[in-house]
Amino acid sequence: MSEPEVPLQLGLKVGDPAAFGSVYDRYGPGLYRAAWRMLGRQADAEDAVQEVFAAVVRSRHRLGEVEDLGAYLFASLRRAAQRIARQRGREPKPGLASDPPVESPDGQTADAERLWRAVARLPAAQREVLALKIDGELTFMQIGTVLGISPNTAASRYRYALEKLRETLETKR
Amino acid sequence: MKHDPHSLPPDLAALEQGLAAARPEPPAHLRSQVLQRVQWEQSRSPRRRRLHFAAAAAIVLLLGAHFGFGLSHPQGVPRPGLDRRQAQAGYRELREALPELPEEQAWRMSLSMAAGQNLLPYGPTGSARLVQPANNPRWNP
- The model's pLDDT over A100-142, given as tens digits with 9 standing for 90+, comes to 556 767 666 777 788 888 888 888 888 999 999 999 999 999 9
**Cα–Cα distance for residue pair B63/A19, rounded to 1 Å:** 43
Cβ pair A63, A13 in contact under 8 A = yes
Q: Verify whether the Cβ–Cβ distance A17 to B30 is below 8 Å.
A: no
Nearest to B33 by CA among A30, A131, A103, A48: A48
Distance from CA of A90 to the nearest CA of B (A): 23
Contacts of A166 in chain B (CB under 8 A): 11-12, 15
Q: Sorting pLDDT into bands at 50, 70 and 90, what band is B141?
A: very low
Amino acid at B31: R
Interchain proximity B16–A134, CB inside 8 Å: yes
Preceding amide of A94 cis, omega within 30: yes
Quick one: closest CA in B to A153, which residue? Answer: B6
Confidence of residue B74 (pLDDT cuts 50, 70, 90): low
Position A92 scores a pLDDT of 44
- Phi and psi based region of residue A15 (left: phi greater than 0; alpha: psi -120 to 50; beta: remaining): left
Question: What pLDDT is attached to residue A14?
Answer: 84
Residue from B32, B33, B38, B49 whose CB has the most chain A CBs within 10 Å, to mutate: B38
Lowest-confidence range among A19-28, B57-66, B80-89, B112-121?
Answer: B112-121
Question: Are the beta carbons of A162 and B12 separated by less than 8 Å?
Answer: yes
Q: Where are the alpha helices (DSSP H) in A40-132?
A: 42-58, 69-87, 110-120, 124-130
> Stretch A9-27: mean pLDDT, rounded?
90
